[in-house]
Structure 1
Amino acid sequence: METGKKGIALLEKGIDVSTGEVEKISQRGYNEDLLPKTEDQRSMSWKNYFTLWMGSVHNIPNYAAVGGFLFLGLSPANIMFALVLSSLVVAGLMILNGKAGAKYGIPFSMHLRSTYGTLGAKLPGFLRGIVAAIAWFGLQNYTASLALLILIGKFWPGFLTLGGNFNFFGIGLPGLIAFTIFWGINVLIGLGGGKVLNKFTAILNPLIYVVFIGMTVWAINAAGGFGNILAYRPNLEGVTTYSPILVYLMIINSVVAVWAAPSSSVADFTQNTKSMKDQVFGQGLGLFIGYVIFAVSSVSILIGGSIYYGVEEWNVLNIVNNWGNLPAVILCIIVLLMTTISTNATGNIVPAAYQLSALFPKKINYKKGVLIAGVISYVIMPWKLMENQESIYTFLNMIGAVIGPVVGVMLAQYYFVAKQKINLDDLYMDEENNKSNNAYYGVNKAAYIATIIALVVSISGEFISSLKMVSSLSFIIGCGLSFAIYLLLKLKK
């Protein structure tokens, strides 16, 4: 009778895995990082998710993206609204795709396996967890290291001239030192895992309110009032403009594309939730409030700074660097660096480490995965990618086009084909005694067909100029198309 009550309580909390089941699975050779999390191993409450995503919204690349949105033809007020609307779409994806991890305690690699099969999961897992994650990890580190360079220069101006004409494959000695320092900090945070990240974001969250609200107040005053910010229009001469509805979709697609990788691998975080309510409420509230603040602050700071300095300035670092108040500059840059660390850990280094562990479960655990991913992110020299902006966006659009179809198939499989049920005993099969009748064995051909067709369509604009707009909506098109094709292939049987 007592066991029955406990079972009901577990299901009500969204936890559908027993300790005995996990012990049975662990005997099959899976390392600890891949095993389902039981109730007593889960530590993330709604507050943890709230602070986790709040810290990931305010980062340097996101501010740069808003600078680009201002040239799409919408008014500042409409851009703010589009950003908030985008947050609801992102929150929906995170919550829906996070449910399997929350219910069964499984990480993304096993969630992916339940969709694509034991062999089939390797390619989408490699693309998301290795290619996209490691490349983004390096790029985020380099972008933030430019802020660190400014910070060091404020205390030690001579640092900016160290090395003279020294050049390491396109980067000077000061830049290389700043990149190495920031890269090392990110790797250390990654090694700490979820517990360190939770403490880090708990400290970061109140600082975000203080700094970005303070920056917004400064910007509004600098612009002569909020009305001047709302009335501002950038110089659009020679810039292609689109219909308002299309611009809304482009902004939503861009924001969702930024979160495409975390939304696909969100099970790595929801597997640690204390209850289903915690992950739903925490993620939804964190993303919504985070983007409300971000929408107002980003638009206000960029426009306010442009009005104040008399030039269109869309780099938030340049605006902060021009301030005459040294303590304010230092505080703002430190918080920008911290938010980038938060984003890098949640969206890049953690998924990369788990995927390496999944690809080589008997040789690589989570911490080894962090170190390997960190080294690769350094060796690829991300500053070289920054030399050609067009190639960067082409690369990122292609990665986003891959992840969109993967998310679409994952949602279709879990909610409409599997009907929110996963057989853990079959999913964690004995690799030495595979059974051909196991539903998760091999390759889910329908998933591959849907993914590949959607991928080809969503990246077509990169190669066919007349279809360029398709690439601007790559995630939306890729995710929606793969979802529909997969259901058509599976449900017609």
Structure 2
Amino acid sequence: MTSTEQTYHPDGRVELTDPEAVATSRYGNAELAPTRLAERRWTTYNYAALWMGMAHNIPSYLLASGLVTLGMNWLQAFLTITLGNLIVLVPLLLNSHAGTKYGIPFPVFARAFYGVRGANFPALLRAFVACGWFGIQTWIGGQAIHVIVGELAGAGWRDATAIAGHPWTLWLSFAVFWALQMWLIWRGIEGLRRFENWAAPLVTVAFLALMIAILVKAGGPGPILSQPSTLGWDADFWKIFAPSLMGMIAFWATLSLNMPDFTRFGQGQRQQVLGQIIGLPTTMSFIALVSIVTTSGTVVVYGSAIWDPVELTRRFENPLVVTIGLVMAILATMSCNVAANVVSPSYDFANALPRWLNFRTAGLLTGVIGVLIQPWRLISDPDIYIFAWLSFYGGLLASVAGVLIAGYWFVDRTNLFLADLYLVNGRYWYSAGWNWRAVVATLVGSVLAVGGAYGGPFPTEGLIPFLQPLYDYSWVVGLLAGFLGYVGLTVAFPHRTDKAVHAAPTF
């Protein structure tokens, strides 16, 4: 006979008194089970290094350089990105709390509000977005490998026969980089932690070196910082500022949901909070400043903004400099990609099929889907990258974040019952494993946030024309609608009593 009781420790962390209580559940496996206290070893440095590794990457660089390309000057782009990351830090820390307190990953956390089965809805939504990001980062890493080999092998490699619009050697580089990342994820979460610890500082040095090289070519920072904004500070700027800000927030909207995947290993709330405050806003502001100065410098040096650092690195004449720079780009991309875009969907897909998929096999599935999404199309244009891709999925995931924050902090007051997260007929079973209130709140929030999507692949007047004005504020709309919708429906239609279970639990 196993016990479903939980132990409360003096520092506020909670664990199952008997870990065997959920061992035979059809909705659990070794990766989804609550982390034992002895296994929660991540320190402040581990979280700061994790964010350094995730934020110091080429897509982060492309955020800032893309804003410069769209007409902002260095100050406007820097303020937009810094403000966006300070805003997204709030839901990120709110959702991180449950991971540290209970030792559970995001999809298990979501079961408390969506239901044991219903959690697959937000988990898979988050997972497929991560697959898209994995593909984008892998394509960028493949480009870097292609350029490095091209510097050594010559024109025969660079100008190889094209297949589907790209040299076959680029497709080969893409495949090699994909395989490297699959090898890293196969090593497990501890292998990833060790990789982040040493890769993050190297990547920081590489981006600084690129900026310094451009500053030397441009004759110092004066010519760069004196460049005017083509938008000014009037209506033209504010028209592009709102959707750009939503894109900056949406960049980490994925992590604002699934950060419990990492904070479940934290030594305590203080360590994860301090590590993330040190790691996210400071690191993103740093990479933004480096990107802005570097991209603005390319206007001075080359006459036009080069927003892709891989393309910029190719412009240098010294093959050794090019090779070192691109090796660092590969490390940066791998560091971010595996942590931000493989860990989460690995848990999410395993949550959907816990008896068939574990952390490693689900990671492989993520890699396959990331290729099928055709990432080379998503980053072909800054308008599509920032406004279509980032703003659209940011609005969708914001409504999920709203439900989680409302449920955890305002409905359940941070009190969860661990065993019931894995039980049939337990507190979180709701109706056939689904809580319709959370699903409705998410759907309504998503429609309000992205129903008016316009521009790029969307109709000029918006998918739903009367909702078009809301799309410029998609993340805020989604977050508030999901939050208010869940609280309102839960109050109007109470879904459980104070008892731990409605009926005898079964596994």
Same fold (TM over 0.5): yes
Task: Please list, as runs of the form range in 1=range in 2, the aligned pairs for 1:32-51 lying within 5 A after superposition.
Answer: 32-51=30-49
Q: Residue 179 of structure 1: which of 166, 169, 174 is its match?
A: 174
Report the equivalent of 2:111: 113
Distance 1:245 1:93, change over 3 A: farther
Tell me, what secondary structure is at the counterpart of 2:187?
A: helix
Residue 42 (structure 1) shift: 1.4
- 1: CA distance between counterparts of 2:351 and 2:305? 47
Which amino acid counterpart does residue 140 of structure 2 have in structure 1?
T
Residue 39 (structure 1) shift: 1.1
Deviation digits for residues 318-375 of structure 1 (CA, Å, limit 9, x no counterpart):
2211112333222221222212112211221111111111111111111111122223
Report the equivalent of 2:228: 233
CA contact (8 A) 1:73 1:241 kept: no
Report the equivalent of 1:405: 399
Distance 1:241 1:193, change over 3 A: farther
Deviation digits for residues 245-275 of structure 1 (CA, Å, limit 9, x no counterpart):
5655433321221111121111111111111
Report the equivalent of 2:337: 344
Which amino acid counterpart does residue 370 of structure 2 have in structure 1?
S
Which amino acid counterpart does residue 108 of structure 1 have in structure 2?
F
- Which 10-residue stretch deviates more, 382-391 or 216-225? 382-391
CA contact (8 A) 1:140 1:340 kept: yes
CA contact (8 A) 1:405 1:478 kept: yes
Residue 439 (structure 1) shift: 5.2
- 2: CA distance between counterparts of 1:179 and 1:363? 28
Is residue 2:132 matched to residue 1:138? no
- 1: CA distance between counterparts of 2:354 and 2:212? 50
CA contact (8 A) 1:71 1:234 kept: no
Residue 221 (structure 1) shift: 3.2
- Which 10-residue stretch deviates more, 181-190 or 56-65? 56-65
Report the equivalent of 1:421: 415
Is residue 2:258 matched to residue 1:261? no
Report the equivalent of 1:3: none
Residue 218 (structure 1) shift: 2.8
- 1: CA distance between counterparts of 2:427 and 2:201? 53
Which amino acid counterpart does residue 183 of structure 2 have in structure 1?
L
Q: For structure 2, which runs of at least 5 residues remain unmatched after alignment?
A: 1-6, 454-458, 494-507
Distance 1:480 1:45, change over 3 A: same
Report the equivalent of 2:210: 215
- 1: CA distance between counterparts of 2:397 and 2:299? 35
Distance 1:199 1:148, change over 3 A: same
Report the equivalent of 1:4: none
- Which 10-residue stretch deviates more, 268-277 or 88-97? 88-97
Residue 234 (structure 1) shift: 5.7
Tell me, what secondary structure is at the counterpart of 2:135?
A: helix
Is residue 2:466 matched to residue 1:471? no
Distance 1:78 1:267, change over 3 A: same
Distance 1:140 1:240, change over 3 A: farther
Distance 1:89 1:409, change over 3 A: same
Report the equivalent of 1:147: 144
TM-score, normalising length: structure 2: 0.86
- Which 10-residue stretch deviates more, 281-290 or 302-311? 302-311
Q: For structure 1, which runs of at least 5 residues remain unmatched after alignment?
A: 1-6
Tell me, what secondary structure is at the counterpart of 1:17?
A: strand
Residue 180 (structure 1) shift: 0.3
Which amino acid counterpart does residue 306 of structure 2 have in structure 1?
E
- 2: CA distance between counterparts of 1:77 and 1:116? 42
Tell me, what secondary structure is at the counterpart of 2:31?
A: helix
- 1: CA distance between counterparts of 2:379 and 2:310? 16
Which amino acid counterpart does residue 24 of structure 1 have in structure 2?
A
Distance 1:328 1:65, change over 3 A: same
CA contact (8 A) 1:92 1:284 kept: no
Residue 454 (structure 1) shift: 1.1
Count of paired positions: 477
Is residue 2:452 matched to residue 1:456? no
RMSD, aligned α-carbons: 2.7
Which amino acid counterpart does residue 477 of structure 1 have in structure 2?
V
CA contact (8 A) 1:113 1:440 kept: no
- Which 10-residue stretch deviates more, 176-185 or 29-38? 29-38
Which amino acid counterpart does residue 139 of structure 1 have in structure 2?
I
- 2: CA distance between counterparts of 1:302 and 1:484? 41
- 1: CA distance between counterparts of 2:279 and 2:37? 23
Residue 387 (structure 1) shift: 6.4
Deviation digits for residues 43-94 of structure 1 (CA, Å, limit 9, x no counterpart):
2111111111111112222222222312555431232133222222232222
Deviation digits for residues 92-128 of structure 1 (CA, Å, limit 9, x no counterpart):
2221111101100001110111121122212221111
Which amino acid counterpart does residue 197 of structure 1 have in structure 2?
L
Is residue 2:90 matched to residue 1:92? yes
Distance 1:288 1:384, change over 3 A: closer
Distance 1:248 1:285, change over 3 A: farther
- Which 10-residue stretch deviates more, 404-413 or 334-343? 334-343
- 2: CA distance between counterparts of 1:435 and 1:306? 61
- 1: CA distance between counterparts of 2:380 and 2:84? 30
Report the equivalent of 1:202: 197
Deviation digits for residues 295-321 of structure 1 (CA, Å, limit 9, x no counterpart):
220111111122112223222222211
Task: Please list, as runs of the form range in 1=range in 2, the aligned pairs for 1:368-447 lying within 5 A after superposition.
Answer: 368-383=361-376, 394=388, 396-429=390-423, 431=424, 434=425, 438=429, 442-447=433-438
Task: Please list, as runs of the form range in 1=range in 2, the aligned pairs for 1:203-352 lying within 5 A after superposition.
Answer: 203-233=198-228, 242=235, 244=237, 247-352=240-345
Residue 139 (structure 1) shift: 2.0
CA contact (8 A) 1:31 1:361 kept: yes
Is residue 2:481 matched to residue 1:481? yes
Deviation digits for residues 137-182 of structure 1 (CA, Å, limit 9, x no counterpart):
11221122112211111111145257535x2x44431111100001
Distance 1:234 1:355, change over 3 A: same
CA contact (8 A) 1:216 1:301 kept: yes
Deviation digits for residues 276-295 of structure 1 (CA, Å, limit 9, x no counterpart):
11110011100122023112
Report the equivalent of 2:13: 15
- 1: CA distance between counterparts of 2:225 and 2:68? 12
CA contact (8 A) 2:139 2:376 kept: yes
Tell me, what secondary structure is at the counterpart of 1:461?
A: coil
- 1: CA distance between counterparts of 2:320 and 2:486? 55
Distance 1:294 1:382, change over 3 A: closer
